[in-house]
C-alpha cells in the first residue's frame, strides 16, 4: 500500500443529494439554498482500488452518518458547532499554523 492513493468511500454523491438527504432526516424545515458559482471543479473519486486490492467496502452509508449526526446534535455531543474552529477545516488549519 506504500505510495498509493486510497479513496475509501461509499459512493459519489452531489452536494444537492446530500442536502436533500439531510432535509429528509431532520424534524424541522430546512431550506436548501443554491448559490451560483464559477467553480465547476468535480471531485468524482473512485473507491475501486481499495475494494479490489484490499477488499475494503464501507459498512455504513452517508445516510447513516446523517442519522448519527442528528442524534449527536440532539444529545448535545457537538457543542458550539457553529463557532468552534475544530468544526471548520480552514479555521482549524489556521489555528495550528497549517498553510
**Residue 5 domain-assigned?**
no
Q: What is the pLDDT of residue 87?
A: 81
Mean pLDDT of 50-66: 94
Give the global pTM.
Answer: 0.74
DSSP 14: -
Mean pLDDT of 3-27: 90
**Residue 28 domain-assigned?**
yes
Mean pLDDT of 30-38: 92
Q: What range defines the domain where residue 89 resides? A: 15-95
**Residue 32 domain-assigned?**
yes
Q: What is the pLDDT of residue 99?
A: 60
**Residue 9 domain-assigned?**
no
Cα angle 68, 69, 74 (rounded to 5 degrees) comes to 100
Number of compact structural domains in the chain: 1
**Residue 66 domain-assigned?**
yes
Cβ–Cβ contacts within 10 Å for residue 50, how many?
A: 19
Amino acid at each position: 500500500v506504500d505510495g498509493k492513493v486510497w479513496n475509501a468511500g461509499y459512493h459519489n454523491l452531489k452536494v444537492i443529494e446530500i442536502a436533500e438527504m439531510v432535509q429528509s432526516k431532520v424534524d424541522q424545515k430546512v431550506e436548501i439554498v443554491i448559490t451560483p458559482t464559477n467553480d465547476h471543479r468535480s471531485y468524482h473519486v473512485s473507491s475501486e482500488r481499495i475494494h479490489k486490492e484490499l477488499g475494503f467496502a464501507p459498512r455504513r452509508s452517508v445516510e447513516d452518518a446523517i442519522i448519527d449526526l442528528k442524534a449527536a446534535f440532539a444529545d448535545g455531543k457537538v457543542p458550539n458547532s457553529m463557532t468552534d474552529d475544530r468544526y471548520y477545516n480552514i479555521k482549524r488549519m489556521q489555528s495550528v499554523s497549517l498553510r
